């Protein structure tokens, strides 16, 4: 489904029932990135639409032991990981060399749906009957706010993060592109950097989300698999094979010899996905043009935007927040 030319994409819709308005009025609020306002619910910042989806999902979602949920901090390469997971997990029913592979025809966001932004958004009751097992799902929700059944089942979580500098630049560009598409003015980099540093980013504070999943991945390595964008860029084959092992669907020697691993990486590469017709001209079902998800796809783009002051300020925050965690980001 696409939105009509006059209505904003679902991402930007802020329709609220009276009951919801009343509830939102009890939450701390700040200026939004794409939408006018974001709210703090259970310690994280998000749009009214996403919060309604999170609450519905917390109340209704029943996880299954075989589920695989991709969790990401927004703009950390979700669409990339969705494509890799889809190709990996479905390689028996959709061989990667298939001429009409779903990844050639659909944006990864339409193949792996978000719980709170797609399935439980806008008051929907999702129908999972057409899902094949394992169900592949996604969310941006912090660990503490995941539905109970996700934590209490053997559902596997794949967490992806990206260095905070590139994440911020990607978020700022994405939000402004969506604003421009909807005839709104852009938010300055100074203002949104300040927001990001204060923790007021989409599903932020960034550091809280990353640290919680990092700790879970150490304490519970069979449940949470922690991946970094920069590491996949550096060693794609190694990381994809680690992911396959975590998901208990390792590549066979025969598959490796036939080039399956290489072909999955090629299919899901930035250059390939970005240039597909569906991603140059298509729109995802939530109404956003697919091209917005394929901007530069590089490590280190932050250098084209950061001033010395911004660099110093973020360095200081990162040192403070991640000290002693053992987590190190790579920026080049
Ligand atoms: P979302 O949170 O809105 O779903 P998400 O997919 O996480 O967005 O992030 C998009 C980023 O991943 C973009 O980064 P950029 O703004 O720095 O360019 C996008 O270019 C990048 N990206 C998309 N696909 C790939 C890919 N196949 N390989 C590497 N990076 C990618």
What is the full DSSP assignment across 164-183? HHHHHHHHHHHHHHHHHHTT
CA pair distance 229, 161, nearest whole angstrom = 6
Instruction: Say what the pLDDT of residue 159 is.
Output: 98
Instruction: Say what the pLDDT of residue 76 is.
Output: 98
Sort strands 136-139 and 68-72 into parallel, antiparallel or unpaired: parallel
Domains of the chain, start order: 27-322 (3.40.50.300)
CA pair distance 242, 158, nearest whole angstrom = 11
CA pair distance 287, 324, nearest whole angstrom = 42
Mean pLDDT of the 276-284 span: 95
pLDDT class for 6, splitting at 50, 70, 90?
very low
Tokens for 69, please give them. 């949920």
- Residue 241 Cβ inside 6 Å of ligand 1? The answer reads no
Instruction: Say what the pLDDT of residue 7 is.
Output: 54
Instruction: Say what the pLDDT of residue 15 is.
Output: 66
Residue-averaged pLDDT of the chain: 94
- Residue 9 Cβ inside 6 Å of ligand 1? The answer reads no
Q: Where does residue 208 rank: exposed (0-12), middle (13-18), buried (19+ CB within 10 A)?
A: middle
Q: Which of 140, 183, 281, 316 is catalytic?
A: 140
pLDDT at residue 122 is higher than 60? yes
- Residue 80 Cβ inside 6 Å of ligand 1? The answer reads yes
Mean pLDDT of the 121-135 span: 95
- Residue 270 Cβ inside 6 Å of ligand 1? The answer reads yes
DSSP 8-state code for residue 121? G
What is the full DSSP assignment across 25-93? TTS-EEE-SSSSEEEEETTEEE-HHHHHHHHHHHHH----TT-EEEEE-TTSSHHHHHHHHHHHHTTTT
pLDDT class for 13, splitting at 50, 70, 90?
low
Closest C-alpha among 158, 171, 132, 265 to residue 222: 158
pLDDT at residue 146 is higher than 70? yes
Mean pLDDT of the 22-42 span: 95
> pLDDT digits over 283-314, tens only?
987 789 999 999 999 999 999 999 999 999 99
User: Which residue from 297, 298, 299, 300 has its CB within 8 A of the most atoms of ligand 1, so it is best to mutate?
Assistant: 297
Q: Which atom of ligand 1 is nearest to the CA of 170?
A: 16
Closest C-alpha among 301, 280, 303 to residue 292: 280
pLDDT class for 1, splitting at 50, 70, 90?
very low
> 152 alpha carbon to ligand 1 midpoint, in Å?
31
Q: Where does residue 25 rank: exposed (0-12), middle (13-18), buried (19+ CB within 10 A)?
A: exposed
> 167 alpha carbon to ligand 1 midpoint, in Å?
9
For residue 227, list its beta bridge partners: 160
For residue 46, list its beta bridge partners: 39
Percent of the chain with pLDDT over 90: 90
User: Which residue from 117, 141, 284, 294 has its CB within 8 A of the most atoms of ligand 1, so it is best to mutate?
Assistant: 294
CA pair distance 232, 159, nearest whole angstrom = 13
57 in Cβ contact with 126 (< 8 Å): no
Active site residue 140: yes
Q: Whose CA is nearest to atom 11 of ligand 1?
A: 77
- Residue 293 Cβ inside 6 Å of ligand 1? The answer reads yes
């Amino acid at each position: 489904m696409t939105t009509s030319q006059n209505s904003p994409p679902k991402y930007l819709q802020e329709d609220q029932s009276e009951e919801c308005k009343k509830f939102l009025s009890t939450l701390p609020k700040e200026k939004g990135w794409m939408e006018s306002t974001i709210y703090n619910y259970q310690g994280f910042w998000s749009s009214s639409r996403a919060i309604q989806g999170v609450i519905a999902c917390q109340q209704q979602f029943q996880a299954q032991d075989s589920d695989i949920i991709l969790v990401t901090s927004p703009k950390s390469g979700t669409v990339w990981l969705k494509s890799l997971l889809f190709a990996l997990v479905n390689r028996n029913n959709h061989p990667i060399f298939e001429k009409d592979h779903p990844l050639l025809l659909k944006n990864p966001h339409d193949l792996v749906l978000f719980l709170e932004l797609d399935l439980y958004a806008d008051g929907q009751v999702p129908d999972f009957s057409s899902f094949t097992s394992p169900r592949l799902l996604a969310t941006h929700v912090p660990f503490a706010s995941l539905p109970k059944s996700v934590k209490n089942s053997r559902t596997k979580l794949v967490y992806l993060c990206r260095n905070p500098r590139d994440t911020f630049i990607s978020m700022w560009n994405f939000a402004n592109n969506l604003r421009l598409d909807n005839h709104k003015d852009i938010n300055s980099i100074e203002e949104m950097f300040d927001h990001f540093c204060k923790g007021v980013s989409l599903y932020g504070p960034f550091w809280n989300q990353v640290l919680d999943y990092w700790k879970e991945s150490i304490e519970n390595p069979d449940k949470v698999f922690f991946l970094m964008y920069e590491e996949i860029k550096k060693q794609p084959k190694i990381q994809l094979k680690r992911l396959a092992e975590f998901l208990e669907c390792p590549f066979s020697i025969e598959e490796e010899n036939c080039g399956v691993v290489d072909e999955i990486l090629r299919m899901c590469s930035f250059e390939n996905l970005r240039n597909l017709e569906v991603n140059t001209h298509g729109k995802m079902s939530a109404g956003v043009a697919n091209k917005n998800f394929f901007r530069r796809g590089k490590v280190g783009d932050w250098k084209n935007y950061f001033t010395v002051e911004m660099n110093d300020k973020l360095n200081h925050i990162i040192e403070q927040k991640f000290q002693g965690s053992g987590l190190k980001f790579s920026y080049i």
